[in-house]
Every structure is written in C-alpha cells, then in structure tokens.
Amino acid sequence: MLKPLLFFAGVRCLMAIAMSQLLPMHDSRPLSTTFGDLALYNGSANGSLPLWNIPNPLFAALVRGLNYRHDQLGDWRFTSFSLVLNIAFSVIFVVLACKVLRPKAALLYAVFLGAHPYLALYSLKLDSSLFALLPVGLLATTALTKLQTSWSLLTTAVSSLFRNSLVPMGWLQLAWNRRIWRSTFGVLSISTLAASTALQLHFAAYYIGQNYGCYSPSRVTDWLGEQGMQGWAAKTLGFMLTPIIHLLLDLGAREAVANHCLVLPTSIAKQQWLHVGGTLFFMILHGWLLLRLIRTAWRHMQDNFAAAQLLFPLAMLLPTLYGAAHMRYLIPIIPLLLMNAFELRFQHSNTHGIVQG
C-alpha cells in the first residue's frame, strides 16, 4: 500500500508544479480572475453578510480564518497548504484501490489519479470542491468493501457545510441507512444535514433559476428559436436538451466555457486547438468512465444491492443540469470514475466475484 501512496503523492506534486508553470502560457488571465467567489467567501465583498447567509458557510469561515485573499492565490505557503490538503483528502481513494484492485492496477490508478491535469490544477488553490473528496471516498468504501461505518453519513453532513453540492448525496445516504436513524450518529447526522439544507436552500433555488452562462436553458431555447422552432416546441425541446448539454459540460468543459461558449478569447485560451481538443478528450474520457461506473453498479446490484451506493455521488451533478455547469463540479467524482477504468473486486460480494468496471 505504501508504494501506491508514494507514487500518487509524488506524481500529484510534480503534475501540480508542471501545471503552475504551463498554465500561464495558455491562459494569460491574472489568478485573481479565476476565483470570483473568493471575494464573497473572505468578506471583501458583502463583508456584512453573516456566514449563515453565504453558500458553504464553513468554507467561508475557514477562508476568513486563514485570511485567504486574491493576492495570495500564488503565495507558495497557501499553494503548498492547498496541495497537502488535497492529497490528504484524496488518499482514501488510493487506499481503497489497494483493496479492490489488483496490485499492478492499484499502482497504475495511483499514477493516473496523481497525473490528472484538472485535479492537479485545482490542487493549487483552496477550493470548496476538495471537501467533497473524503465523503465520496467513504461512500465508495462502504459500497465496495465490507467496511460499514456511521461516520460516512456524518462526514457527508458536516462536509455539506463546506461544499453544498453534497446535500443531495447526503439525503440519499440517509434514506439508505434507515437503521441508524435512532442512533446518536443518526440524530447528529440528520440534524446537521437538515441544518445545512435549510441554510442553503435559498441559494439552491437561485442557482438553478439563474439562467447562467452561454448554455443556460433560456439561451438554448433562444438558439432553437433562431433555427425556426417557435413557441412551446422550442421551450419543451430546450428543457429536454439543456440537461444533456450541461452533463457534457460537467464531463469536460473549463469554467470559462460556461461564460464564453466553446470558442474562448485568446486571453483565456491562446491555443484554441489545445482547448477544444482537451475539452473533447475529457468529455469522451469521463463519459466513458461514467458509463462504466453505471454498468459496474448495475451488474453488481444483482449480487449485492449495496453496490447501488456507487451511484449516489452522481446526485451532486443534479443541480448543474439546469444551473451553471462545468468540470469543476465533477472534481469530487473523478477519482471514483478513474477507478472504474480497472477491474473492481467487490469485497462484500456474496459470490466473491470480480466485476469488470
């Protein structure tokens, strides 16, 4: 187990350093423009707004406690802290891979996980998405191994105050684990998750209804109108096409694509071929892995229904089907997707079988 862990940490550090040097050659924007929400979290914008009225209130509290500001995005101390924190929260996937993959496959997985360019890039800044890694890892562990722990649900509930996209996954876990409802962990988990939901419900409604970006529902409907489709037909087809388009954006689009459409300004993407090629590559890769994940869960549910929990993290993408959509929302799920590139061995299988992912 030590070798895959060392390979993962080493490759991730090297890839993060490489991305920090290569990105300015492709994207000339100042780092401050790539983290627009930071001003809200650290209080430099709407500083009088109480924490409980801010999305991801515990993340906002952490950012304010660290005094994390735009001018410190390139500071080596914060970059190192973010990298270490990201590696620490990702370790659970490498440990899990050592249990459910063959030794060579586990080592390859550790290398691929460390080398994923988008994960390496987001390891360099303190982003709320990293706080969803541990809950997804714990949930995958309960689905793939004999380990059953009450900590998984509580971890999801607490982490949802750092990353609100975990709320739908938390309610699925709660519905699944009805046996712990009356336990101390259950009551604490339900209370925390309910509080997180109540605090962030107003933002969820705003997020889904904001018609944000180039591929918003209204823009899709308008495009259909330009093609000659009018009235209810355009609205109905637009309503149906939007989640498909947004899922593709989740699978492979940079955050800037949501604002500027696929063809980006040269200040954001100096090499258009690299940007378009990378977008298509990640859409295909992550789409293929997503299909393998669904196939793996479905096939193994015939043997042990606990495998259905592998699909619970996908609930984090539900708000993006009509809200803002890009690959950052996929970050907590990517480690699980990558694992499905290999042959998984479910430890709790009644037949002790091996399922091809």
Secondary structure of 184-240 in HEC code, one letter for each residue: HHHHHHHHHHHHHHHHHHHHHHHHHHCCCCCCCHHHHHHHHHHCCCCHHHHHHHHHH
Instruction: List the chain domain ranges.
Output: 2-35+73-356
Q: Residue 252, Cα to own-chain centre: how many angstroms?
A: 12
- The pLDDT value recorded for residue 244 is 95
The pairing of beta strand 354-356 with beta strand 343-345: antiparallel
Residues in the chain, pLDDT under 50? 349-357
CA-based R_g, the chain, Å: 20
**Residue 34 structure tokens:** 């790539």
> Two tokens at 212?
């944000």
Considering the entire predicted model, what is its pTM? 0.91
- For residue 348, the model assigns a pLDDT of 61
Q: What is the pLDDT of residue 113?
A: 97
At residue 30, the pLDDT reads 67
Dist CA 330 CA 279 (whole Å): 14
> pLDDT at position 64, please?
92
pLDDT at 264: 85
Q: What is the pLDDT of residues 259-277, one digit of tens each?
A: 788 888 887 888 888 889 9
Counting beta carbons within 10 angstroms of the beta carbon of residue 111, is it exposed (0 to 12), middle (13 to 18) or buried (19 or more)? Answer: middle
